[in-house]
Chain A
Amino acid sequence: MLITFSPKESFLYSINPVIKGLITLFLIIAFSVIASGPVELGILLATVVIFSLLGRVDLLPIIFSLRKIFFLLFIVGLIQGFSQGEFDFLLALEAILRIVGVFFSAGIFVTISSQTELMYFWEQTFRPLALFGLPARELALVMVIAVRFLPVILSEIDRIRIAQMARGAKLSGGFGLSAVKSLLPLMIPTLSLAIVRAGDLALAMEARGYCVSRSRTRFRHYRVEFIDLLGLLLCLGIIFALMKF
């Protein structure tokens, strides 16, 4: 099961995308650096889980994906547990909770944010760059197009891989230079098709009236509502309450 956007109606989904991103960012910081014990981290994680369940977030894919990093968790637990000489269960638990917390926060963010919202988030994040003369909206559009073409190019790579293997190409094996060389039958056609695609897309965008210098309106507007700020404050409040000074 992949962690992807799964649309639902709830208070969590309707938070302003930028606030969503900020809350996630704060949670990730909280889980990774704040000085707290396993109890506080446990409470924070439980709060995150309770809120997402209230917000009708489907946590199953996230829990399933957790299995993939199970080994990593195990190792980190061991290393942290033995860091003081004797094995300390609480230290091991704390380390594991930190990773699981970061994983959950990011996973939930991805589950409740649509492509459009992510784009809007990126655009707002890029906005400070405008001070240096960089075009925030165009950069965000580049991100969107990258995301848009990812599945197309992935399926294309798969087709090219099969076709080249049918021609007897061994696409793996060897180290260093020979490994690179064995990938050429995959890389070169993929790249040249991507370049053709990019050219076609640029032409199609121009034909549909796209022009960097012209002012455009936008299909989606996201206003920051009072409730969004409240959510952000609530999140910060919980984090501060659980911090050890």
Chain B
Amino acid sequence: MPEDLHLEKLELFYQRQKVCGPINCRFSRGKINLVVGRAGSGKSTLLKAIAGFHNEVKGSISLDSQVFQADGNIALAFQNPENLFFNPTVGEEVCFALNQKGQSRDSNEEIGKKWLERWGLDAQKYWHKHPLELSGGEKRKVALSACTVLLPPVIMLDEPLAGLDYAGQLKLVEILEEIACDHIVLLVTHDPELLLPISSGILFLQNEEADYYEINQFIRNAVSSSDFYPLPKWYCQALRPFDGIREFPMINAASVHEFLQKKVE
């Protein structure tokens, strides 16, 4: 099982112009690792660089102290991964990556079904359906299954929650938490609120620089200064008097309310 992905003095360039860096951080297994920043701050470039598809890079990437070989060790899903469908059935779509690698079709089917179940879909029911007949949320789950079947140690996702309704987002967060137990998961997002409880740290890209924060530190900075990162205003206002605490409540009404009640007592 992989333990951590270590970026050391990683600098990203695009057409010789610096995009971002130096990045020094450890993404570890067990919880999600978030990457946030404005549009154009280099989030996607970072994912591409780790995946080995962007070569204008300085510095080093290592997995458990070994030089990281991206090939075959990563899953990468960009925004709206359902745009990548090209097979006539869900089954073929999910097993595509496995079949490319060879191995027997039967064992591939088994793995594919396991992943569909893992992402929360009934494999029997969906296996022979056409991918484009599904609803938005179902498509997303099929696409994520298809990106992850190879069981890579490092899984990178760009905005997997975008475009899903609230119930779908909650479900996906639950599944992500489980997957992070035995994979290193990197997740790029504009909406970290739902994901913070299941994350261990945040890489914040800004003004060509990159800073890594432990979650509570990140929330503390955002609560005490509105210029740091725009977390919901009501949350920051409610918690500003308590910005010295070690553990912040989650960013939802019930948690904050409960927290405040305890403080009053």
Given contacts A168-B96, A184-B86, A188-B86, A162 and B146 within 8 Å (CB-CB): no
B78 touches which of A163, A170, A192 (Cβ 8 Å): A163
Q: Nearest Cβ in chain B — how far from A39, in angstroms?
A: 43
Q: Is A159 an interface residue (CB 8 A)?
A: yes
Contact (Cβ within 8 A) B85 A189 = yes
B202: interface (CB < 8 Å): no
Q: Which of A165, A168, A189 contacts B86 (CB 8 A)?
A: A189
| Interface positions of A from 144 to 165, Cβ below 8 Å from B | 159-160, 162-165
Cα-based distance from A90 to B123 in the complex (angstroms): 74
Q: Which residue of A lies closest to B152 (CB)?
A: A166
Q: Which of A162, A164, A169, A170 contacts B48 (CB 8 A)?
A: A162
Size class of the A contact interface (CB-based, 8 Å): 10 to 19
A-B contact count (CB 8 A): 54
Report yes or no: A163 in contact with B86, Cβ–Cβ below 8 A.
no
Q: Which stretch from B69-77, B165-173, B211-219 is at the chain A interface?
A: B69-77
Q: Which residue of A lies closest to B74 (CB)?
A: A166
A193 at the interface (CB under 8 A from B): yes
Q: Is the CB of A166 within 8 A of B96?
A: no
In the assembled complex, the CB of A139 is this many whole angstroms from the nearest CB of chain B, namely 30
The residue on A at minimum CB distance from B149 is A167
What is the predominant secondary structure among interface residues of chain A facing chain B? helix
**Which residues between 65 and 106 of chain B lie within 8 Å of chain A, taking CB atoms?**
72, 74-78, 81, 83-86, 96-98, 100-101
Chain B residues whose C-beta falls within 8 Å of the C-beta of A168 in the assembled complex: 72, 96-98, 100-101, 150
What's the nearest-Cβ distance from chain A to residue B153, in Å? 14
In the complex, A38 has a CB within 8 A of chain B: no
A160 to B76, Cβ gap below 8 A? no
Contacts of B100 in A (CB 8 A): 167-170
Q: How far is the CA of A108 from the CA of B168 in the complex (A)?
A: 55
Find out whether the CB atom of B74 lies under 8 angstroms from the CB atom of A167: no
Residues of B within 8 Å of A, CB-based: how many? Answer: 22
Asked whether A162 lies within 8 Å of B53 as measured between CB atoms, the reply is yes
Q: Which of A189-221 contact B (CB under 8 A)?
A: 189, 192-193
Q: Do A163 and B97 have beta carbons less than 8 Å apart?
A: no
Q: In this assembly, does A185 line the interface, its C-beta being within 8 Å of a C-beta of chain B?
A: yes
Q: Does B51 contact A (CB under 8 A)?
A: yes
In the assembly, what is the distance between CA of A185 and CA of B72, in Å?
A: 18
Q: Assess whether B86 is in contact with A167, with CB atoms less than 8 Å apart.
A: no
A184 vs B75: C-alpha distance when bound (angstroms):
20
Q: Which residues of the partner chain A approach B74 to less than 8 Å between Cβ atoms?
A: 166
Q: Which of B137-163 contact A (CB under 8 A)?
A: 146-147, 150
- 10 intermolecular pairs with C-beta atoms under 8 Å apart: A162-B51, A163-B77, A163-B84, A166-B51, A167-B96, A168-B72, A168-B96, A168-B98, A168-B101, A193-B83
Given A167-B147, A168-B101: 7 more A-B contacts, CB < 8 Å: A162-B51, A162-B78, A166-B74, A168-B96, A188-B86, A189-B86, A192-B83
Interface residue ranges, B against A (CB under 8 Å): 48, 51, 53, 72, 74-78, 81, 83-86, 96-98, 100-101, 146-147, 150
